[in-house]
């Protein structure tokens, strides 16, 4: 198992790693809208928070030496599923031509009151 860490993404807010490579896969911890070097959420709307998350995911993928084309699974957790259409639009633009499998759902609550959290798995 290899731990992946970059200063270009926020530090974990608990006892976990930004990402881990194991058995040929890269597993990213759930990302919420915290910018590198900060400890509070950025963005008022779900879409604004998603933009920060996509930047963080890109930084971790780059540190691991993979791209969005290596994504195999994405999980999108939203505080309010009425944001699904707007999130789907920005997600599609961020994703480009890659088409990993995906799940989108509304949990009871997200960390720090976030409006969205995204978890990805990629080939390493």
Confidence of residue 49 (pLDDT cuts 50, 70, 90): very high
Give Dmax over CA atoms of the chain in angstroms: 38
**Residue 15: both structure tokens together:** 């006892």
What CATH code is carried by the domain that includes residue 37? 3.30.1330.40
Each residue's pLDDT tens digit, 87-103: 999 999 999 999 999 99
- Residue located via tokens 């896969």: 25
Strands 2-4 and 19-22: antiparallel
- pTM over 0.85? The answer is yes
Split into its structural domains, the chain has a count of: 1
Paired residues of 101 in beta bridges: 73
Average pLDDT over residues 63-83: 98
For residue 86, what are the domain limits?
2-123
For residues 9-25, average pLDDT: 96
């Amino acid at each position: 198992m290899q731990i992946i860490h970059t200063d270009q993404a926020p530090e974990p807010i608990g006892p976990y790693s930004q990402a881990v490579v194991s058995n040929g896969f890269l597993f990213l911890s759930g990302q919420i809208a915290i910018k590198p070097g900060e400890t509070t959420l950025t963005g008022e709307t779900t879409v604004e928070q998603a933009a920060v998350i996509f930047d963080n995911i890109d930084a971790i993928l780059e540190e691991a030496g993979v791209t969005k084309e290596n994504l195999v699974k994405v999980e999108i957790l939203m505080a309010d599923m009425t944001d699904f259409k707007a999130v789907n639009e920005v997600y599609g633009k961020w994703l480009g031509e890659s088409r990993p499998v995906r799940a989108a759902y509304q949990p009871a609550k997200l960390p720090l009151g976030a409006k969205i959290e995204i978890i990805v798995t990629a080939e390493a």
